[in-house]
A and B are shown apart, each in its own frame.
Chain A
């Protein structure tokens, strides 16, 4: 376990960096670009760079403009809200360190765009309410008799608990949908909802409602639309085994189709 590698750092940082931001006044309005210059500091992330711009919204050409709008909350990559496309890659802006970005692009410019698969509210802000609707579609919850005191839940092995934990870390950020070539125009429910269905299908009590959950995945926008590009698993910031969830849920669908009549 001594595979510890020291992180690569930017050795000769520039005095200033440039933030190139895609602007849009509101949904449907035309897109434009603005570039801002700010003083480099070590440990700067995209959020603190944006905060700098907000305090002084003047472009590199000296033009006063409106402060860019973006979403942020926890800044610890656990709420998912600050997701955007940074240098062509979808990710959370809080955990995008300027040093790393400059190292990777070998330039002094960082480019910010909103995710493209969701309605663009303004600038870098998008509306992901569709993702929460998808969770409704797959009944992503455990059915309880009531929330009063009925003692502990079932015994579960720690292995199963850990496997479920991996799925349960999904923060509905939308990276998987942004990267998925199949997702768009309501034609496919996408990896996040399938993985959440898997999370509950793996639970001894959740298992009892597996039919309802799989039903949500059998419509026209269902699991059959996965094209197996495997982009989702590459971009997931929580390292959720999304392709495995799709594979295993597909298997459940097949088993149900073959043997479902036995339950009738």
Chain B
């Protein structure tokens, strides 16, 4: 292994595994660090499908149209060149998964079948039942397992990254991670590091994200100098199932397959939905957006549902609307949506094939993330990012079924980019050993201070408070005074955090120490999200301010960049690449506005 490179990947979801496979295939070695066994990563939760303009339905679809739909849906905040590269690569990505044996649904001829999704008029979404993310993740998990057997991939499952190891020139030389059982810290020396840790949904307390999606590792990078971009753009999914522990996703594919959103025309109508005749139902999305109907992009559907409930028109006067599939034959629903309908039935108790579902918007996805250039390089030399944890591709709003493809694309670009960098970087020497030990010591001291701290605050209660204030003020509708108050609350929580006690005398496999570290990191990102939103006085995609209801390209067609400083994040802005599709007003009430 004289010339062998060692690349560390943090996160074993779709993006991390995609990168791991490519690096191993190129003959290099991977250390793969993941808080859970990689097969249990959050990618499994993606339900509906993966977009790629394969055009097998004779609709004249093309990667250029996919590009246009993506940047238009993202309200023109995405740099366009990477989006073009992704939409060009998307058909190959789908074919590759087909070759890996993913059981995609198929046509009569035995070809891949495609369905419709939000924000497009084409059948562009390949799917495996309604658990496409699970199926794609498993395919990569299987391929990476093969490389693990071949000795190219070393998995560290049950390890959490705490910080980067940076040398005196701010070059990334590896990272520090913690074994979640023994709490032992270890340095991972690497020629390059790829972050692929997914989103930060837990900042909002309850969201559709898995409990591992804290954004903690990315926040650590940010606090060490990595730029964080467009943090204020948080997608709230229009259809989730409210629960005590989390908001469970009801996939957009339910609407893709013909699901209709409605409320009773009469407020407070408590009749069973079956007994409410067509003429007494208000299909508000279809009425307002006749061209796209129920398949308007997520930000629009979310605001409409939110608004309808705010005005008191929700079912039984509560924060819920019907998502109705009951007009579709039960056996069709079982085949095409079985997995997600089971989730609803399992957690709510009603069978959606016969009873309309009750849903409400829930925090779902972060368009923002680590700033990367068009080769997935962050501003820290040697540090790369891919997947939901990077900010590229989705602009101000992500289209359904674009996340899986963007994760794989990001991994496929980050891998060769990291290899290229690692081949040319001056390798670490004895001097860099010192920096590893120094960083390890610094992280151990943070752990020790958490363990010995004695105070009256309970960290899980603090987390709940953060989630509530963020959900109330930094999601669907945003007001500047409330955003200011939110930041003050976050500072208060930061203060109270210093008075927590971990309440666990047994340190073996304790969740208290990891959670304390995650919580601090979440607070830092929460400030980035909140202050980014406060500063951006316009409405664009998922970011909506009634005081500034219009998109303002003159002043705000730019990427927000946050850089860490102890007092508060420092915000700056950079222009967006709009070289391929000229920005135009988004209007989903008619067929798509002409280019």
Q: Are B129 and A150 in contact (CB under 8 A)?
A: no
Q: Are B245 and A122 in contact (CB under 8 A)?
A: no
Q: Are A26 and B109 in contact (CB under 8 A)?
A: no
Question: Can you spell out 5 A-B residue pairs with CB atoms less than 8 angstroms apart?
Answer: A77-B343, A81-B37, A144-B99, A152-B95, A165-B128
Interface residue ranges of A121-166 to B (CB < 8 Å): 121-122, 125, 128-129, 132, 135-136, 139-144, 146-147, 149-153, 155-158, 161-162, 164-165
| CA of A141 to CA of B58, assembled, Å | 33
- B residues less than 8 Å from A110 (CB atoms): none
Q: Are A153 and B99 in contact (CB under 8 A)?
A: yes
Q: Are B330 and A76 in contact (CB under 8 A)?
A: no
- A residues less than 8 Å from B347 (CB atoms): 43, 45, 95, 97
Residue B287, interface by CB 8 Å: no
Residue A183, interface by CB 8 Å: no
| Given A7-B349, A7-B350, A149-B92, residue A75 in contact with residue B245 (CB < 8 A) | yes
Residue A205, interface by CB 8 Å: yes
Q: Are B110 and A155 in contact (CB under 8 A)?
A: yes
| Given A26-B509, A55-B460, A155-B111, residue A78 in contact with residue B103 (CB < 8 A) | no
Q: Are A4 and B98 in contact (CB under 8 A)?
A: no
| Known A45-B244, A122-B506; further 14 A-B contacts with Cβ < 8 A | A1-B329, A1-B330, A26-B508, A45-B243, A48-B245, A55-B458, A74-B42, A144-B100, A146-B25, A152-B98, A156-B110, A168-B135, A171-B40, A205-B101
Residue A66, interface by CB 8 Å: yes
Q: Which residue of B lies closest to A96 (CB)?
A: B346
Where the two chains meet, the residues of B that have a C-beta atom closer than 8 Å to any C-beta of A are: 21-22, 25, 36-37, 39-42, 44-45, 92, 95-96, 98-113, 128-129, 131, 134-135, 138, 142-143, 145-146, 148-149, 157, 181, 210-212, 243-246, 248-249, 329-331, 335, 339, 343, 346-347, 349-351, 353-355, 458, 460-461, 503-506, 508-512
| CA of A80 to CA of B41, assembled, Å | 10
Q: Are A77 and B346 in contact (CB under 8 A)?
A: yes
- B residues less than 8 Å from A140 (CB atoms): 142, 145
- A residues less than 8 Å from B98 (CB atoms): 152-153
Q: Are A81 and B249 in contact (CB under 8 A)?
A: no
Q: Are B145 and A142 in contact (CB under 8 A)?
A: no
- B residues less than 8 Å from A69 (CB atoms): 509-511
- B residues less than 8 Å from A55 (CB atoms): 458, 460-461
Identify B131's interface contact among A43, A66, A169, A203, CB under 8 A.
A169
Identify B349's interface contact among A9, A51, A143, A200, CB under 8 A.
A9
Q: Are A25 and B506 in contact (CB under 8 A)?
A: yes
- B residues less than 8 Å from A135 (CB atoms): 142, 145
| CA of A132 to CA of B21, assembled, Å | 18
- B residues less than 8 Å from A9 (CB atoms): 349
Residue A206, interface by CB 8 Å: yes
| CA of A43 to CA of B210, assembled, Å | 19
Q: Are A80 and B40 in contact (CB under 8 A)?
A: yes
**Which 9 residue pairs of A and B lie closest in terms of their CB atoms, listed nearest first?**
A155-B110, A141-B142, A153-B98, A48-B244, A165-B103, A79-B40, A7-B349, A4-B354, A122-B509
